[in-house]
Structure 1
Amino acid sequence: MALPIVSGVVAEVPRAFVAPAGLLVTADRPARFTSASGGDDGPTSTVRQTLGLDTTGQEGAGVTVALVDTGVADVPDLAGRLEHVDLTGTGVGDGYGHGTFLAGLLAGSGAASGGRYQGVAPAARVLDVKVAAADGTTSLSLVLRGLQEVAKRSRTEPIKVVNLSLASGSPLPYQVDPLDQALRVLWHQGITVVVAAGNDGPQPGTIDAPGNDPTLITVGGVDENGTAAHADDSIASWSGRGPTSQGLAKPDLAAPGAHLVGLRSEGSVIDAAHPQSRVGDRYFRGSGTSMAAAVASGAVANLLSRRTNLTPAQVKGLLISTAYQAAALTAERGAGAGGLDLAGALAERGLGSAAGSQRPSTSPAPGDPKLWAAVSAAFARGDRDAAAAAWDDLSPAARSWAARSWANLDPVARSWAARSWAARSWAGADAQSSEWAARSWAARSWAGEDWTARSWAARSWAGDDWAARSWAGDDWAARSWAADDWAARSWAATWR
């Protein structure tokens, strides 16, 4: 199947398949949505008031938000504003319950609660792009198909926002990760992309793709502590923290994500597993950066409904520059620029700019600058042998730095790496060059510890052990929905 959004295809190939020169092959992998486990009996969020909105309203008119998730059930709070796209072949609806919950936070009208549980953009339309089975499982290729569908429909529909509350677990640099690439394509087409920071907090370095991408809006989770006042707000313990593996400061900002009331998908996996989290007949309570991302997506829809000509970079810049501060909402604690202040962003008449807000570190590469210049020069003139020799001349510390921070290399070298490092472009007839490309760059130097041989193929993406434990086996079901482990790793929401 063709995937123009990443200039690629989805295909089944033998395990021993050798990619032609210039072709990057990425293993399909399970992807997990960022919600946390257990029921949620904490205080009810005052999310609209925290964002500076009236208790009820009709915000978001004229904007469609694409929710790439587990599906959305047809419920009264979304009546007349919901369009379905099923890419799973299982039919429309939400057998899992995650997507429906987020749709309520984003655009629920509050019709079934007299307006009490209204979303952030209750007049916005929702494009339900279903990419997960009834048990919540999905994969990289299925999510990419969903994003491709968004790209196609955006040509004729007013899709201005994409919400993807998912953590892929990818070890690839954001520059070459297919999921990051696809989301950046949508961003550059004028669609603001909002992603979750994930629920692996509170330790540093707990954000992965696509939250690791400097272009996209990555959202952490605020605990409002039961009030609409900002002074007592804090970052929830489960909210993912930066820096990313490439040294980026993430998330960009934080939004309410704790003890929120969203829409219930009756009879779904979540609904059946956590009856204590039901709020009346139509609603459900949960926490996580999935929820925070949905709140932020509603805020973006609200903003774009008022200021239709804003670019994604300007939207991001406005949200970052108007974020509110609190004693416990600091970058060091995982809040990025601070808490989302939608009223402040709506009142700001200038044009925001996110330029430079989340750039890779510009610290120089370790080692002799002349040796790095030799590596770059060899790349530029296409001399495989010289590149291999120059690489070998670098110190172990310098090669390790390249594994972590390759975005700081000379642009020519970086461009070459993005196209070719995993695709055997440097593997020619010369045995020395082939061996260098296969061992020193892809397997040893880019990940530090034989990433290709052990961490990717054997353990993380293609291996039976990961699939059996984390997604397909009974152990996953027992651990992931009954214990906090799922809260930290998967759909970034909690239901206790």
Structure 2
Amino acid sequence: MGISSRFWRRAGLIISTLILAIGMLPIGPAAAAPKDKANSKLLADAKENGEKEFRVIVVRSSDAKKVADKKAGKLAKDADEGDRNADKEVEGKGGKKVRELNKLGFVATVKGKHLDKISKHAAVNFVDIDAPMIPPAIDSTTLKPQGLEVAYQRTIGAADAWMAGITGAGVGVAVIDTGVNAALPDFNAADGSSRVIASLNFNPAAQYVADGYGHGTHVAGIIAGNSWFNPTTALQGKYIGVAPGAHIINLRTAADNGASNVSDVIAALDWAVANRLTYNIRVINLSMITNASGSRKQSMLAAAVERAWFSGIFVVVSAGNIGPNTASYAPANDPFVMVVGAADTKRTPGQSDDKIAGWSSYGNNEEGKARPDVVAPGRWIPSVLSSPSSVLGSRYSGRVMDPNYIWMSGTSMAAPVVAGAAALVLQAHPEMSNDELKWLMMNTSVPLAGEIGSGVGEINVTNMLNYTGTVGKANDGEQLADFLVGPDGLVSYSTSSWSTSSWSTSSWSTSSWSTSSWSTSSWSTSSWSTSSWSTSSWSTSSWSTSSWSTSAWSSTSSQSTASQSSEWSFVDIE
């Protein structure tokens, strides 16, 4: 089912008005930019480790002359407004620029002893840590596969939706991860075409968009895999994802060793927002968290996921796998996402015996809000294996169930169960907003009695699709991240007014993260270079070399100096 024009008109209004407050401060009676110009934990760490090199995101202030020239029509509407004196300040302190981060700012490495002074420079709006991203841990125990293949789909009621013709057809789900092996038949459509409808790489250290690691392909298979298209008869119908008709948008953010940073993920999130209409991106799956705890109010990653949320994209994130009192890692500490913990289904189709997995993260975030929101099956989850020679295929060969299928455990696996469920509901109800879908998902979940850390319960697709009451809205009254402002500078979200025309574009302030700066045209195929994106790395013929320009992504933006600082760490869990 195609998405309704009414939804996108409403979502378009929100994104055309919601902006990130990192350029000019909002005009009006209100709350403005962050009180501090740097992440407080970053500054504390830098003070203690003056000679240590920190990888940071530097947000430029707006250049007054550029802003004036744009208003006068002397510069393009999507021109960069940033004050480049920020770059000179960093380099003058011995720092090294690693990469540009869209029009927002740049990533750099700089010694801790200089960070406080850099953050106070007039050309610098904010400095945040570009922390490594880590996926939740993965189970390494052995298990006999009998009866495992379809247990989790039946547990949440996905199979009932399929019987009703609801498969997530046409709904775009962006997988921000290690890549997706789009050549596998599990991602085919009935006509033989691939349901992986776009593939891009946002990690300068990665050479291709496919998945040599295996994590992203496994996640994508849980969302939308369909082994009915496997040419091996014995495997047909044996391994099915939650929404086997959904489209996958492969946004690779990890290097070949699985390493990734916040800036890579922000770049992918921004692309998804800019291209949401082109690919009908209604859901984003993020099976990863940062390795740096802290307030989401001061997190650029939190601001980026919130911006995606208010752009009409339902953002699903894994809670993490480090147990109790661990709810302070972005983006799993944010209210404008669906935070998912892992349930142990005991390999049965019913939910009455389900428990929270002992390693699933939970607790209160820095604002005192409980996380996760819900749980979903996350233990012993079978899905597509990118390749037997992939990192996961080699490292966990004992979990391979059939050729190109492997089981894993973790909230990395629970999150895509929810992402797939969201795609099912959005096919049936394309007019539904993110806040309505979150409310519906939470209010139809099955409580796990006595299970601390299970949120409101385990999701149930059957309950969602059969719900006949009035659908409410989640997140009312929640505070925005410090980098987001609303009409007249408001920083508190109201579900009753944000979906109406009373939030007009004229009441929003301007900044370098305005809609004009992050439009589809500025992230179109014409802005990607053929030199860094070879034709051999694309899985479909629709991405030809003739559609990629050589100007925007020069070799200097893809240097090896942008390689990531650490490998994703996998901790064995049961």
Look up the match of 1:64.
172
- Deviation sequence 1:258-281 (CA, Å, 0-9, x none): 101010011110100111110110
The answer on 1:219 being equivalent to 2:340 is yes
The answer on 1:51 being equivalent to 2:156 is yes
Q: Of the candidates 179, 197, 216, which is equivalent to residue 301 of structure 2?
A: 179
Q: Secondary structure of the equivalent of 1:292?
A: helix
How far apart are 1:138 and its partner, in Å?
A: 0.4
Q: 1:208 to 1:357 in 2, by over 3 A?
A: farther
Q: Of the candidates 125, 131, 140, which is equivalent to residue 29 of structure 1?
A: 131
The answer on 1:259 being equivalent to 2:380 is yes
* TM-score (normalizing by structure 2): 0.60
How far apart are 1:176 and its partner, in Å?
A: 2.2
* TM-score (normalizing by structure 1): 0.69
Whether the aligned pair in 2 keeps the contact of 1:321 and 1:352 (CA below 8 Å) is no
Q: Of the candidates 173, 180, 185, which is equivalent to residue 76 of structure 1?
A: 185
Q: In the alignment, residue 318 of structure 2 is paired with which amino acid?
A: A
The answer on 1:94 being equivalent to 2:190 is no
Look up the match of 1:137.
259
- Partner Cα separation in structure 1 for residue 319 and residue 134 of structure 2: 13
Q: In the alignment, residue 200 of structure 2 is paired with which amino acid?
A: V
Bigger CA drift: 13-22 or 299-308?
13-22
How far apart are 1:84 and its partner, in Å?
A: 1.1
- Deviation sequence 1:445-467 (CA, Å, 0-9, x none): xxxxxxxxxxxxxxxxxxxxxxx
- Partner Cα separation in structure 2 for residue 12 and residue 53 of structure 1: 45
Q: In the alignment, residue 26 of structure 1 is paired with which amino acid?
A: D
Q: 1:125 to 1:356 in 2, by over 3 A?
A: closer
Q: CA RMSD in A?
A: 2.6
Look up the match of 1:349.
468
How far apart are 1:27 and its partner, in Å?
A: 2.6
Q: 1:98 to 1:358 in 2, by over 3 A?
A: farther
Look up the match of 2:415.
293
How far apart are 1:2 and its partner, in Å?
A: 5.9
Whether the aligned pair in 1 keeps the contact of 2:294 and 2:329 (CA below 8 Å) is no
Whether the aligned pair in 1 keeps the contact of 2:158 and 2:421 (CA below 8 Å) is no
Q: Secondary structure of the equivalent of 2:125?
A: coil
Whether the aligned pair in 2 keeps the contact of 1:255 and 1:292 (CA below 8 Å) is yes
Q: In the alignment, residue 52 of structure 1 is paired with which amino acid?
A: G
Structure 1 residue runs without a partner (length 5+): 361-406, 408-418, 420-469, 485-493
Look up the match of 1:8.
104
Whether the aligned pair in 1 keeps the contact of 2:136 and 2:288 (CA below 8 Å) is yes
Paired-residue identity, %: 31
Trace 1:97-136 onto structure 2 (pairs within 5 A). 97-111=214-228, 112=230, 113-136=235-258
Q: 1:196 to 1:40 in 2, by over 3 A?
A: farther
Q: 1:253 to 1:347 in 2, by over 3 A?
A: same
- Partner Cα separation in structure 1 for residue 347 and residue 126 of structure 2: 49
The answer on 1:85 being equivalent to 2:200 is yes
How far apart are 1:358 and its partner, in Å?
A: 9.3
Structure 2 residue runs without a partner (length 5+): 1-98, 189-193, 480-491, 493-510, 512-563
- Deviation sequence 1:77-109 (CA, Å, 0-9, x none): 002100211223411211110000011110011
Whether the aligned pair in 2 keeps the contact of 1:84 and 1:127 (CA below 8 Å) is yes
- Partner Cα separation in structure 2 for residue 262 and residue 314 of structure 1: 29
Q: In the alignment, residue 34 of structure 1 is paired with which amino acid?
A: P
Q: 1:54 to 1:349 in 2, by over 3 A?
A: same
Look up the match of 1:284.
406
Q: Of the candidates 346, 352, 356, which is equivalent to residue 231 of structure 1?
A: 352
The answer on 1:166 being equivalent to 2:280 is no
Look up the match of 1:153.
275
Q: 1:54 to 1:134 in 2, by over 3 A?
A: same
- Partner Cα separation in structure 1 for residue 384 and residue 308 of structure 2: 27
- Partner Cα separation in structure 1 for residue 132 and residue 474 of structure 2: 33
How far apart are 1:117 and its partner, in Å?
A: 1.2
How far apart are 1:299 and its partner, in Å?
A: 0.2
Q: Secondary structure of the equivalent of 1:141?
A: helix
Q: In the alignment, residue 62 of structure 1 is paired with which amino acid?
A: G
Trace 1:318-467 onto structure 2 (pairs within 5 A). 318-329=440-451, 333-356=452-475
How far apart are 1:52 and its partner, in Å?
A: 1.5
Whether the aligned pair in 1 keeps the contact of 2:152 and 2:347 (CA below 8 Å) is no
Structure with greater helix share of residues: 1
* Count of equivalent residues: 369
Q: In the alignment, residue 242 of structure 1 is paired with which amino acid?
A: G
How far apart are 1:357 and its partner, in Å?
A: 7.6
Q: Secondary structure of the equivalent of 2:309?
A: helix
How far apart are 1:349 and its partner, in Å?
A: 3.2
Whether the aligned pair in 2 keeps the contact of 1:200 and 1:206 (CA below 8 Å) is no
Look up the match of 1:431.
none
Whether the aligned pair in 1 keeps the contact of 2:294 and 2:328 (CA below 8 Å) is no
How far apart are 1:48 and its partner, in Å?
A: 1.4
- Partner Cα separation in structure 1 for residue 140 and residue 327 of structure 2: 21
Q: In the alignment, residue 264 of structure 1 is paired with which amino acid?
A: L
How far apart are 1:38 and its partner, in Å?
A: 2.3
How far apart are 1:318 and its partner, in Å?
A: 0.2
- Partner Cα separation in structure 2 for residue 274 and residue 290 of structure 1: 16
Q: In the alignment, residue 114 of structure 1 is paired with which amino acid?
A: Q
The answer on 1:188 being equivalent to 2:310 is yes
